[in-house]
Structure formats: structure tokens, C-alpha cells
Amino acid sequence: MEDYLSSPLAGAYGLTHSDLSRMVATGRLQRITRGGFYAGTDPQALAVRARAVGVATSPDVIACRRTAAWLWGLDVLPPGKGQTQWPVEVVVLSRARTPPRRPGVVAYQTDRLSPYDVTTLGGVALTTQERTALDCARWLPRLEAVAALDQFLARGVSRAGLVACAAELGGRRNARRLREVVDLGDGGAQSPPESWVRVLVTDAGLPRPRSQIRLVLPNERVAYLDMGVERYRVGIEYDGGEHHTSAEDTAHDEWRRAQIRRLGWTLVIVRKDELFGSPATFLERVAERLWDGGWRPSPEESVRLQRQLRLLGSPEARHRRYAA
């Protein structure tokens, strides 16, 4: 028997309404919608709730945006949000009945969803990877949009296809945001924070870093920089602390970075508290290291950098730019 049961599916297994009620009473099943039951251990999982919404409403109700990206296996929820806290986002075709208002469901309507944009995964109707990438790039806040797009590009979603779709949306809502996000995308990013760092550096008018730069160390081992500007031999690495907690990990990081510096690279290490609390501090260090490496900004680039540092120094302005 499957973890999720709708009333029709339960009937196919030979279960009557009395059987279902008895199984709910004994704890073998949990009732999660009027006609939906769950036999697993996590009824609040986003995939479970998404399937329940689709089964309980209409085949024209399709998981989209962050919900669809999460179902595709990508890390796209806002920082600090778990899947049990995130609502099920669905798109409803204009010809369909809007699903009943209920807690934990956010519905959008559209008349521009092609049948080719819809597929099924794990029993849930959802937008395809390509359409989900497009929607995330268009509707999510700037930093999170690029982080989502990077993950889709890493999975093989075509940038050329997204560029073509972005061109077709010229003049429509968030079309400019979509074009900018697609241009900023880089499938080499290994985590959302790395994507955020790269966007902040680029937005400041500094030379755009390239992700995952391959370096051959003096002992013939290979190392990869999170990102860097090869022309000026400045590397940028995000250190969130999640995978660097043991003394062995710390020692390995220090050894690896010492070997990279022996190759003539300067490294800027970005800490989690800087990225999420005071990004201007690490951008100043990046600018200083680039200057030391020979970078000379034009007057326009200097003005852009100063403007960005002021913006990032204001929590309100930073929120308007990157979280709205």
C-alpha cells in the first residue's frame, strides 16, 4: 500500500470507509485532507501536502515555483524556512475552478501554461524543470532566484532555452528581472550561499567571478576554488561552518588554502555572519584584494561600488533590493 491514500485509491485496495476510520482511530493512518490519508511518518512534508492538494482539488491544479523546485530535489526555500513551514504553491489554469481557500496553500492563476510545461513526479502534477526554472527566475527575490537558477543549470536545464523564453516575455511583469537573473546564472555554484556571494560581487561592479576554478597544487593534487577572478588571481570562498566543524576539517582547509596561496592566489573568505548580516564588509575586502592584484575601476565602476556599499549598509535598502 502507498504512503498516501485518496478515497478512490483506498477503494481499489479493498478498504471501506469503516476500515479507513478504524485505521485513523488506531493511528495507522492520518487524515490530512477530507479525502486523503497518509501512512508515513511525516504528514507535513511538502511532497505529501502537494499531492494531497492535487488529488483533493483538480487535475488542473499544478505545483509550481518553490514547491515544484523542492519536489525536483533543489534547495530553494528561504533561509531559515523548513519544508514543513512552506505552503504548497500551485498554479491553476484559468479554465479550472480555483481550489478552495485553505491554510498552507497559495494559488496563482494563468492562461499561459502549455501542456508541455507540465509533468508528473511522485504522483504530483508539477511544472517541468525548465518551466520551474523560468518561474523561479522570474518571481523569486533576486538572490534566491539566481541560487535556484544555478541549481537548475547544474542539472542540465538549457540557458539558451531560458534566454529565448525571457525574450518572449518582454514588456510583461518581471521580464527585466528574469533577463537579469538568467544572465547572472552559473551552473558551477555548489550551494545557494555561493550563488549569493557571486551576485553581490557582480552587483557591486567588481569583476565577475567564475565558479569552480580548477587549480593544480604543488603536490599535483587538484583543488577547486568556490569562485574567483583569474585575471587578478583573487579567489573567493564561502565558509558557512556547516561542513568545517571538526579539527580535521579545519586543518585540511588551512592546508588547502596555504597550497593555493603558494600558487600566487589571494583568498577572501566570506563567513556566514557577513553574508547574512553585513555583506559590505566582505565586498570591501574583495575590492581591496582586486586592487592589490592590479584591477583599476573606471569612474563608473567606482561610483557603482560605492553606491552598492551604501545600499548594503542599510537593512531597509538591502531588503528592498534583495528580499522583495
> What average pLDDT does the segment 118-123 reach?
88
Residue 56 has pLDDT above 60, yes or no: no
Contact 80, 97 (CB under 8 A): no
Choose the weakest-confidence range: 15-29, 38-52, 66-80, 292-306: 15-29
Q: Which of 85-99, 151-165, 227-241, 297-311 has the lowest mean pLDDT?
A: 85-99
Tell me the C-alpha distance between 213 and 233, whole Å: 11
Query: How far, in Å, CA of 32 to CA of 158, rounded?
Result: 37
Q: What is the pLDDT of residue 222?
A: 92
Q: Is the pLDDT of residue 114 over 90?
A: no
Give pLDDT, residue 33. 61
- Over 90: is that where the pLDDT of 79 sits? no
Instruction: Please tell me the predicted confidence (pLDDT) of residue 34.
Output: 61
pLDDT value at residue 165: 86
Do residues 222 and 214 make contact, with C-beta atoms less than 8 angstroms apart? yes
pLDDT at 57 over 60: no
Can you give the pLDDT at residue 148?
97
Categorize the per-residue pLDDT at 1 as very low, low, confident or very high, splitting at 50, 70 and 90.
very low
145 pLDDT more than 50: yes
* Residue range 99-109: mean pLDDT, rounded: 77
- 42 falls in which pLDDT band (50, 70, 90)? low
As a whole number of angstroms, the distance between CA 144 and CA 185 comes to 11
Q: Is the pLDDT of residue 257 over 60?
A: yes
Q: Does residue 9 or residue 211 have the better pLDDT?
A: 211
Task: Specify the higher pLDDT residue, 43 or 207.
Answer: 207
What does the block give as the cell for 255?
A: 592546508
- Report, as an integer, the average pLDDT of 10-33: 67
| pLDDT of amino acid 264 | 95
Mean pLDDT of the chain: 87
pLDDT at residue 24 in the model = 63
% pLDDT > 90, the chain:
59
Please report which confidence band the pLDDT of residue 304 belongs to, taking 50, 70 and 90 as the band edges: very high
pLDDT over 90 at 97, yes or no: no
271 pLDDT above the threshold of 80: yes
218 within 8 A of 230, measured Cβ to Cβ? no
Confidence of residue 124 (pLDDT cuts 50, 70, 90): confident
Q: Give, in degrees to the nearest 5, the angle at Cα 286 between 269 and 289.
A: 100
| Contact call for residues 1 and 39 (beta carbons, < 8 A) | yes
Instruction: Identify which of 256, 268, 249 has the alpha carbon closest to the alpha carbon of residue 219.
Output: 256
188 vs 55: which has the higher pLDDT? 188
Q: Which of 13-27, 134-148, 235-249 has the highest mean pLDDT?
A: 134-148
pLDDT of residue 43: 65
Residue 284 has a CB neighbour count (10 Å cut-off) of 15
Domains contained in the chain, CATH given: 1-43 (no CATH), 46-127 (no CATH), 137-185 (no CATH), 192-322 (3.40.960)
